[in-house]
Chains A and B, each alone.
Chain A
Amino acid sequence: MSICEEISKVFGDKANCYVDKFGEAWVEISIESLKEVLGYLAKNGFDHLSTITGYDTGEKIMLVYHLVKFTDGRAVNVNVRTFVDRDNPIAPSVIDLYPSALVYEREVYDLLGVKFDGHPRLKRLLLPEDVPEDFHPLRKDAKFE
């Protein structure tokens, strides 16, 4: 059973899974079901979180969780995509499922301003701490004067 069949069987309409032309599996979910889907994947062998990509689409902020399941043969990749509101970006923290997210969530917060609910030390990772709090350089409207 391919990963997409499995996900649509378990989550039904909540998750939209497809495989792109390069063979990467993408799962599109709403931010409310993020913890549920990642919790299911973490329990089923997807124990490697490569990173969290944040991207400002202009209307919303996209978060992609790049997960890998290592098997004896080829590894299976899944990219879980979700969107948060641009003006009030709040996402649940996944550090209880993936401790490595501790650094990645701080990076996304720093560069895009997404607040992760439940993160113990959510502060800037790359930029200095004296940068104004509402400045997030990877937002498309960030000003650099």
Chain B
Amino acid sequence: MSVKLPIGPIHPMLKEPINLTFYVEGEVVVDAEPNIGFVHRGIEKLAERKTWFQNLYLLEKVCGICSSAHQGCYAQGAEKIYEKEPPEKALYIRTLMWELERLHSHLLWLGVIMHEIGFDTLFMYTWKDREYVLDLVELISGRRVGYSISTIGGVRRDVTYEMLKKAMDVANYIAERAQFYEKVVLNERTVLDRTQGVGYLSKTDAIRLNTVGPTARASGVRRDVRQDMPYGVYEEAPFSIVVDTGCDVLARILVRIREMVISADVIKWIVFNMPKNGAINLKISPFMKPPENEAISRVEAPRGELFYYLKSNGSLNPERIKIRTPTLANIASVIHMVKGHYIADIPPIVAGIDPCMSCMDRVVIVDVNKEKKTVMSHEELHRYSLKWYKRNKLLVREERR
């Protein structure tokens, strides 16, 4: 006798708002079903009507946080379509932006997950640190979000000595802070109680469900597009892939914190190796028609593998653009992870895959048998989950042992 508990549709993810229906027995989730597409904007269709260069600015709006990954991935694919190689310096600047984006996305996510489990102090800390990265991004590109840095055949803005100097400072600062966060997470009882053993996803299941990004790496799956199919300057850049075998939400937190340290190292390497002179842009005319081609482009966005399929028909407009975002790939794993967990664990598990902007909006609880309907806002669910955990702290601790 399970009770239906729909979450959504006006939901966490900015690019993919979702309606998750949970089937609960008492406090335990037994099954779940996703239903997505509530702000489907038809970008793939719209992209077919715009020119190759106009699409640069359309596609970066697929996601507000990993906009540079989307634009860079598209530009990388479009360069294959145009059969042009971007200059080396452009690749360095692009990679710098990708890594800065990973830093601020992981910091944002760390704040969100801490907020979900009721640890708002760390939320304030991480979002303050994120401002340093955003200031730097603004200095380089002129904007805090939607940087529009990439273009087909290179990048649009050059970096100066001051920018690189600041990038160095930011990388050093964030690396230091990441170590502090790791210490806090591993020693703070509040965090351990709510994340250890929650949202278990075994390595076999992570591979079977085609999980991508930090979610997969937290289950011990060593997969990273940066290493498996190098792009940008990742071929030369020295970096290691962070893998954790914890398979729970805590492991996902640790993987992302450690990835920030690696990202900071890559940024430092880029600053040291940035070519001093050289063109940043091939200056391709926006009215140049590309030859008939089809290309595939993959990048490792902060949330995992981002996939683009592009096809041209010899005219100014693309014939087909297909986007596969990492959150779509990870949705199946959320369904798998929540099974057997408490309702109060839903927020950290759903937030655990980093679904773009995590903040559950409205929750409807329907009791099928009594036909009673209660509507809970995200705020209420959040409070409910905190209260529930306070009440059942000892019980849960005992069970997880």
Contact = CB atoms under 8 A, between A and B. Distances in A.
Contacts of B295: 22, 24
A24 B296 contact: yes
Interface stretch (B24-32, B140-148, B304-312, B369-377): B304-312
A31 B37 CA distance: 29
B37 A127 contact: yes
Contacts of A79: 296
B296 A66 contact: yes
B112 to A, nearest CB: 24
A53 B322 contact: yes
A132 interface: no
A47 interface: yes
A8 B37 CA distance: 40
Contact of A50 (B37, B40, B222, B324): B324
B313 to A, nearest CB: 10
Given A22-B295, A70-B223, A125-B37, A50 B332 contact: no
Contacts of B228: 68, 70, 74-75
Interface residues of A, number: 34
B102 interface: no
Contacts of B311: 55
Contacts of A126: 36-37, 40
Contacts of A20: 294
Nearest to A22: B80
A23 B80 CA distance: 11
A77 to B, nearest CB: 7
Interface string A57-76: 00000001010101000110
B207 interface: yes
A71 to B, nearest CB: 8
B331 interface: yes
Contact of A55 (B37, B320, B331): B320
A103 interface: yes
B329 interface: yes
The 6 tightest CB contacts between A and B, nearest first, are A126-B37, A75-B228, A100-B210, A51-B324, A126-B40, A53-B322
13 contacts: A22-B80, A24-B296, A47-B207, A47-B208, A50-B307, A55-B319, A55-B320, A68-B228, A70-B222, A75-B229, A77-B296, A103-B331, A138-B44
Interface of A: 20, 22, 24, 47-51, 53-55, 64, 66, 68, 70, 74-75, 77, 79, 98-100, 102-104, 110-111, 124-128, 137-138
Interface of B: 34, 36-37, 40, 42, 44-45, 80, 207-210, 222-223, 228-230, 294-296, 298, 305, 307, 309, 311, 319-320, 322, 324, 328-329, 331-332
